[in-house]
């Protein structure tokens, strides 16, 4: 079967041939005909097998055949994604596949100025790709409505229905019109979450290319048992011994990711970190540098585990292994995409062995156990010191100085208001802090609301 056989509109076929796509992947072959009929669908297929095109192409075809003015402050299609980077990437795919159609595609996510988004959305757009937090923020500000949505997509659907997102998702679902087409996609779909999907889907067709939680086909999966404290030394040896084009290194925490980068820098190895404590500018720069091959190593939290498509990632290294098996499937799926091969290496500390077991059970794959290298203890002893903490807790020296200045001014103000040095001294301590917190917390709906949005919508 070729794309020409699927009956897609001519401008879409032209865009596909420009991208050198000839044969639809199995999920595309199965999902596209069903979606062209307008049915709801839950599609499960391994990482890197073209699920984005599976939902984008039939939707673009629908818009090509059913042109309509964009609804004011609204959209015709809404795609939700768990992270900003994935939202941007999906939007780019829509632009690529739809380049010969006159459709507008916009992203909506946090970490960037909201006013620009409000301006862009005011006339309405055809396709919006959003993370839930900022979308709800815009809706609450009456800057946007989703009541005219004709097609609704949940990418990484199981994560979108999981704890962190289910409440915003339920709110969003209530604001969507009843009559709409729903498309849910993921590489994983645990049973209990699949049951939940019934709340959002209308008589869906289920398309599974492989059993859920099947890992990408051409990825060699290895594990090495190692003490947590000695993982950094192992990482340096692996990076030296392996033939690495580009590697994604996953840690469990943001702090852990920064630490790994500092140790790499200390050893003269260039790496960037991407996680939720970085500014959006830093996140974009890091991913872009990695995509362009300007930096070979990207150290990430699970923020980069899902959906991110960077060609040429030869290795995924789990510096810490995830405690949720599905997350392992997504992480290692950053390599071996679109028919390529890849290697996934997991560093397993004693207390992580149960996680390894549950990963092996869920994926039905036994990892190849690789012993510690011969020169390992020497590498542990000679581990170079980490580079100093340059940017602190994501603060530049200038930001730190500004903050210290602000605190000093605030304390001075307290002193002059309270009079005696004694009282002022107390005010510098707990009292001042409490006062400060109360003022911020009691600052009204805006502050409270921002917090709420970050908790629910903003990716880790």
Residues that bind ligand ATP (CB under 6 A): 21, 23-25, 28, 45, 47-53, 187, 307, 309, 333, 337-338
Q: Toward ligand ATP, which CB reaches closer, 134 or 306?
A: 306
Regarding 50 and contact with Mg ion (CB under 5 A), the answer is no
For residue 190 the two structure tokens come to 């645990």
Q: Toward ligand ATP, which CB reaches closer, 48 or 133?
A: 48
Residue 375, CA atoms < 13 Å, CB-side half-sphere: 10
Stretch of 43-51, 74-82, 206-214, 395-403 contacting Mg ion, by CB under 5 A: 43-51
427 DSSP assignment: I
Q: Is 241 in a helix, a strand, or coil?
A: helix
Residues 318 and 279 sit within 8 Å (Cβ to Cβ): no
Stretch of 44-52, 104-112, 191-199, 354-362 contacting Mg ion, by CB under 5 A: 44-52
Q: Report d(CA 282, CA 266) in Å as an integer.
A: 21
Q: Toward ligand ATP, which CB reaches closer, 47 or 456?
A: 47
Q: How far is the CB of 258 from ligand ATP (least distance, A)?
A: 25
Contact residue for Mg ion among 30, 45, 51, 456 (CB under 5 A): 51
- The arrangement of strands across the sheet holding 272-274 comes to 272-274, 297-300, 247-250, 315-318, 342-348, 219-225, 368-369
Q: Toward ligand ATP, which CB reaches closer, 53 or 75?
A: 53
DSSP character string of 311-360: TT--EEEESS--SSHHHHHHHHTTSS-TT--EEEEEEE-GGGHHHHHHHH
Q: How far is the CB of 52 from ligand ATP (least distance, A)?
A: 3
Q: Report d(CA 77, CA 154) in Å as an integer.
A: 11
Stretch of 93-101, 115-123, 286-294, 300-308 contacting Mg ion, by CB under 5 A: 300-308
Contacts of 223 (CB under 8 A, 6+ apart): 345, 346, 347, 348, 356, 367, 368, 369, 370
Q: Toward ligand ATP, which CB reaches closer, 329 or 432?
A: 329
Q: How far is the CB of 155 from ligand ATP (least distance, A)?
A: 7
Q: How far is the CB of 83 from Mg ion (least distance, A)?
A: 11
Residue 309 gets the label, from left (phi > 0), alpha (psi -120 to 50) or beta, of: beta
Q: Which of 291, 293, 386, 365 is nearest to 92 (CA)?
A: 291
Q: How far is the CB of 115 from Mg ion (least distance, A)?
A: 30
Q: Toward ligand ATP, which CB reaches closer, 3 or 263?
A: 3
Q: Toward Mg ion, which CB reaches closer, 43 or 307?
A: 307
Q: What angle do CA 11, 12, 13 make, to 5 degrees?
A: 95
Mask of contacts with Mg ion, 248-287, x by CB under 5 A? ----------------------------------------
CA 182 to chain centre: 21
229 DSSP assignment: G
When CB distances are held under 5 to 8 angstroms depending on the partner's kind, the choice from Mg ion, ligand ATP, none that residue 25 binds is ligand ATP
Residues 372 and 344 sit within 8 Å (Cβ to Cβ): no
When CB distances are held under 5 to 8 angstroms depending on the partner's kind, the choice from ligand ATP, Mg ion, none that residue 202 binds is none
Q: How far is the CB of 137 from ligand ATP (least distance, A)?
A: 25
Q: How far is the CB of 260 from Mg ion (least distance, A)?
A: 26
Q: Toward Mg ion, which CB reaches closer, 307 or 459?
A: 307
Report 304-333 residues binding Mg ion (CB under 5 A). Answer: 307
For residue 366 the two structure tokens come to 């036994």
When CB distances are held under 5 to 8 angstroms depending on the partner's kind, the choice from ligand ATP, Mg ion, none that residue 190 binds is none
Q: Toward ligand ATP, which CB reaches closer, 21 or 200?
A: 21
Mask of contacts with Mg ion, 88-117, x by CB under 5 A? ------------------------------
Select the residue whose beta carbon is closest to ligand ATP and give its number: 50
Residues paired with 182 in a beta bridge: 152
Q: How far is the CB of 379 from Mg ion (least distance, A)?
A: 37
127 DSSP assignment: E
Q: How far is the CB of 104 from ligand ATP (least distance, A)?
A: 21
Alpha helices in 161-313 (DSSP H): 163-175, 191-197, 231-241, 254-266, 280-291
Q: Is 147 in a helix, a strand, or coil?
A: coil
Q: How far is the CB of 338 from ligand ATP (least distance, A)?
A: 3
Q: What angle do CA 135, 138, 142 make, to 5 degrees?
A: 135
| Chain contacts with Mg ion (rule: CB under 5 A) | 51, 307
């Amino acid at each position: 079967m070729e794309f020409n056989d699927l009956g897609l509109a001519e401008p879409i076929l032209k865009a596909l041939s420009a991208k050198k796509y000839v044969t639809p992947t199995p999920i595309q072959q199965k999902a596209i005909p069903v979606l062209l009929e307008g049915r709801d669908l839950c599609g499960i297929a391994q990482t890197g097998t073209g699920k984005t095109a599976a939902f984008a192409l039939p939707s673009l075809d629908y818009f090509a055949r059913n042109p309509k003015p964009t609804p004011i402050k609204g959209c015709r299609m809404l795609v939700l994604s768990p992270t900003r980077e994935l939202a941007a990437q999906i939007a780019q795919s829509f632009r690529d596949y739809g380049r010969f159609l006159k459709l507008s595609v916009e992203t909506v996510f946090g970490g960037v100025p909201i006013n620009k988004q409000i301006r862009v959305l005011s006339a309405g757009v055809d396709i919006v790709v959003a993370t839930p937090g900022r979308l709800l923020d815009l809706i609450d500000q009456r800057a946007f409505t989703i009541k005219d949505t004709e097609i609704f997509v949940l990418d990484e659907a199981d994560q979108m229905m999981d704890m962190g997102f289910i409440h915003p998702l339920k709110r969003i679902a209530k604001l969507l019109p009843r009559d709409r087409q729903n498309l849910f996609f993921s590489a994983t779909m645990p049973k209990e979450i699949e049951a939940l999907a019934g709340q959002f889907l209308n008589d869906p067709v289920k398309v599974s290319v492989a059993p859920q939680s099947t890992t990408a086909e051409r990825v060699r999966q290895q594990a090495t048992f190692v003490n947590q404290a000695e993982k950094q030394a192992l990482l340096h040896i692996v990076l030296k011994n392996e033939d690495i084009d580009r590697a994604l290194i996953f840690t469990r925490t943001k702090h852990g990711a920064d630490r790994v980068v500092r140790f790499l820098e200390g050893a003269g190895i260039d790496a960037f970190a991407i996680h939720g404590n970085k500014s959006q500018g830093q996140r974009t720069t890091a991913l872009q540098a990695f995509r362009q091959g300007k930096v070979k190593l990207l150290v990430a939290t699970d923020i980069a585990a899902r959906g991110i498509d960077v060609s040429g990632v030869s290795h995924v290294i789990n510096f810490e292994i995830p405690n949720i098996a599905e997350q392992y499937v997504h992480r290692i799926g950053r390599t071996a995409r679109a028919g390529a091969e890849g290697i996934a290496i997991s560093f397993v500390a004693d207390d992580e062995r149960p996680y390894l077991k549950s990963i092996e059970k869920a994926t039905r794959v036994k990892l190849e156990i690789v012993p510690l290298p011969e020169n390992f203890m020497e590498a542990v002893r000679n581990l170079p010191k980490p580079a100093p903490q340059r940017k602190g807790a994501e603060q530049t020296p200038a930001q730190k100085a500004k903050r210290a200045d602000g605190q000093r001014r605030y304390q001075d103000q307290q002193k002059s208001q309270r009079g005696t040095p004694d009282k002022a001294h107390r005010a510098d301590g707990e009292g001042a802090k409490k006062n400060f917190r109360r003022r911020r917390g009691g600052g009204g709906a805006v502050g409270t609301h921002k917090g709420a949005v970050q908790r629910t919508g903003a990716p880790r």
